[in-house]
């Protein structure tokens, strides 16, 4: 959680480092993605047994954790994804109703199968998906915004908010929209990270990593592969957290 991404080495104070049981990429998934899902759902989700939870981009780096944590809270989980492979992955981690939007439309599925709406939406796509999520909210429903990947490549990174319609839609349902940015919840970070590391180590949490083996150029190895990894993520090809491997270089003087 310190500045210095896209580097082979970085120096951080020991007190902000996290001790992990093994040097494996699975633990990297927890640093931002795992803690974002854990803290946001704990602080803003109000999860209870039987609640219906919709997770967008559910097979992605953060969505995978939202699905699993909601299931552990005994919720009914719906997850959107873009392929049959991702749909199968979601079922494997407990998702009750994967919606592969390459094969079926999200809006009609939600209206037909969940006419009473969903209680919590964990939203990271933005744009048209955000609009569908607002429409799908149940009475007193909660929508948690943790990102908007569909707008990251626009000049401002933001899409216009239709202020003339959103308030009415929320008012009609006594619903709410809350934004979550991890840096504003760092007081909760250490506890969350410790809990997630134990879950991962015990096998109680699936921490899916995508090293790019199925990408056009093969596995993401070395800093020169970062641009491919980012493109791969923006194209929605990844299942789980995208990780770039950095080869170890041994210096006998160290």
Domains of the chain, by residue range, sit at 26-202, 209-242
Residue-level pLDDT at 184: 96
Helix (H, G, I), strand (E, B) or coil at 143: strand
CB-CB neighbours of 245 under 10 Å: 13
Helix, strand, coil shares of the chain as percentages rounded to 5?
40, 15, 45
Residue 253: per-residue pLDDT: 42
In three-state secondary structure terms, 244 is coil
Taking each helix axis from N to C end, the angle separating 166-173 and 127-136, rounded to the nearest 10 degrees, works out to 30
- What is the residue-wise DSSP string for 200-233? HHHTSS---EE-STTSTT-S-BSGGGHHHHHHHH
Q: Which two tokens stand for residue 153?
A: 């490549």
Give the pLDDT score at 162.
62
Contact 164, 143 (CB under 8 A): no
- What one-character DSSP code corresponds to residue 165? T
Listed residue (179, 177, 158) closest to 166, CA to CA = 177
Of the candidates 107, 63, 70, which has an alpha carbon nearest to the alpha carbon of residue 87? 63
Architecture of domain 26-202: 3-Layer(aba) Sandwich (3.40)
Dig out the tokens for 217 from the structure.
């150029």
What are the tokens at 149?
């990947």
Phi-psi region of 234 (alpha: psi -120 to 50; beta: other; left: phi over 0): alpha
Along the 254 residues of the chain, how does pLDDT read in single tens digits? 677 778 888 888 888 888 899 989 999 999 999 999 999 999 999 999 999 999 999 999 999 999 999 999 999 999 999 999 999 999 999 999 999 999 999 999 999 999 999 999 999 999 899 999 999 999 999 999 999 887 776 655 555 556 568 899 999 999 999 999 999 999 999 999 999 999 999 999 999 999 999 999 999 999 999 999 999 998 999 999 999 998 865 443 43
Rounded Cα distance between 237 and 134, Å, is 26
Residue 160: what pLDDT? 54
- The pLDDT value recorded for residue 73 is 98
């Amino acid at each position: 959680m310190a500045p210095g991404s896209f580097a082979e080495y970085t120096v951080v104070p020991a007190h902000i480092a996290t001790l992990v049981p093994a040097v494996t990429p699975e633990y990297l998934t927890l640093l931002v993605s795992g803690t974002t899902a854990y803290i946001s759902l704990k602080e803003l989700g109000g999860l209870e047994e039987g609640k219906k939870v919709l997770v967008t981009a559910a097979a992605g780096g953060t969505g995978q954790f939202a699905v699993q944590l909601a299931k552990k809270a005994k919720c009914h989980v719906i997850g959107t994804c873009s392929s049959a492979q991702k749909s199968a992955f979601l079922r494997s981690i407990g998702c009750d109703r994967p919606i592969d939007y390459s094969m079926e439309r999200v809006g009609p599925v939600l209206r037909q199968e969940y006419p009473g709406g969903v209680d919590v939406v964990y939203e990271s796509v933005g744009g048209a998906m955000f609009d569908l999520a607002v429409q799908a909210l149940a009475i007193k429903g909660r929508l948690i915004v943790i990102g908007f990947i569909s707008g990251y490549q626009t000049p401002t990174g933001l899409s216009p908010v239709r202020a003339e319609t959103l308030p009415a839609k929320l008012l009609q349902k006594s619903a709410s929209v809350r934004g979550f940015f991890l840096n504003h919840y760092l007081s909760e970070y250490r506890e969350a990270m410790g809990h997630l590391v134990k879950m991962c180590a015990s096998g109680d949490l699936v921490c899916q990593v995508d090293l790019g083996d199925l990408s056009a150029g093969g596995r993401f190895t070395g800093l020169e592969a970062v641009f491919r990894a980012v493109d791969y993520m923006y194209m929605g090809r990844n299942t789980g957290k995208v990780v770039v491997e950095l080869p170890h270089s041994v210096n006998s003087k160290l």
